[in-house]
Structure 1
């Protein structure tokens, strides 16, 4: 839900919004967009994916994994809060105390009825533009994960994995997530 499309905001404006314990927002091309609270299944999926990613990344000393809510500032007019992000240790300089300033290596978005269109279009375009190397679209309706890999021409589908399959990541060779444990 776009709050007021006539008013374009900057990251400074976004930071000065009153804090809310019940509402989360993203800033997309200067437009303030309310992000709905995740449901129980969404949170369960996020928890399991985070655990697999964090364990793999930690065991191999590859970088950092975090989960929402955490601001990822791609530009002065684009601030997103992906469900899960991974940042390689080579790019750790983009991690700041209050936010991440730059594109994570991996973004995971768990779709909902309210966010699916935006995650598949607007955010996909933005993530490609700002250099997110790999983008996962997790669909709780179909129990699938679509893995997209950034190329010179935008994202290319690296795979679509169902609940009886094992997810593999081009970005993180050796990572295997049995989706039967996720869905």
Structure 2
């Protein structure tokens, strides 16, 4: 991951050439990550498909995967592995990006993104008041579920068999189908 000294805005972000890497802006700092590996993408797809079947197909909301831009502010543009926006909040979805706070963000840890996902993005999502954040550890086969309460994340669960989004009671991700 590389960091540059220039403070970036959304306009600067849009001028970055497509080089096959993941570019993100957090607090105006530019971070570059390599493309995710195949196991990472497999885990992401298996979680996304389960959420898609239970949230998007019954028209309860929308499920997006990377590289979808999530603009949380003029100086915070990230590409989470999975983003969920409930139908009641669909106004934040534009033709080119999600501009605003989604209902759930999911990040899948990779060796090159552990610090970013556990620290920078955790702080960013908490500061921007994303209601729910999942950190997926594909090596340990566990998902840590954080829910925002009083403007701070509290760990609701650490799951290895199944996990339920906090905002939709009857939705469930069967992790035995993920690992």
Q: TM-score range by the shorter chain?
A: over 0.9
Q: Which has the higher contact order (CA 8 A, sep 6+)?
A: 2
Runs of 4+ in 1 over 4 A off after TM superposition: none
Query: What pairs with 1:17-166 in structure 2 (closer than 5 Å)?
Result: 17-20=16-19, 22-162=20-160, 165-166=161-162
Per-residue Cα deviation, 1:124-145 (whole angstroms, up to 9, x for no partner): 1110111211100000110100
Task: Indicate conservation of the 8 Å contact 2:127/2:151, yes or no.
Answer: no
Task: Indicate conservation of the 8 Å contact 2:102/2:130, yes or no.
Answer: yes
Aligned twin of 1:3? 3
Structure 2: tracts of 5 or more residues without a match:
none
Q: How far, CA to CA, are the matches of 1:157 and 1:177 in structure 2? A: 17
Identify the range of structure 1 (169-178 vs 80-89) with the bigger mean alpha-carbon deviation: 169-178
- Aligned residue pair count: 179
Task: Indicate conservation of the 8 Å contact 2:126/2:151, yes or no.
Answer: no
Q: TM-score, normalised by structure 2?
A: 0.96
Q: TM-score, normalised by structure 1?
A: 0.94
Cα distance 1:160–1:31, how it changes in 2: closer, same or farther (>3 A)? same
Structure 1: tracts of 5 or more residues without a match:
none
Per-residue Cα deviation, 1:32-78 (whole angstroms, up to 9, x for no partner): 10122111110110111010000000343211101000110011111
Task: Indicate conservation of the 8 Å contact 1:65/1:87, yes or no.
Answer: yes
Task: Indicate conservation of the 8 Å contact 1:146/1:157, yes or no.
Answer: yes
**Does residue 168 of structure 1 match 2:167?**
no
Task: Indicate conservation of the 8 Å contact 2:145/2:155, yes or no.
Answer: yes
Per-residue Cα deviation, 1:134-175 (whole angstroms, up to 9, x for no partner): 10000011010011101114111110011xx22122222111
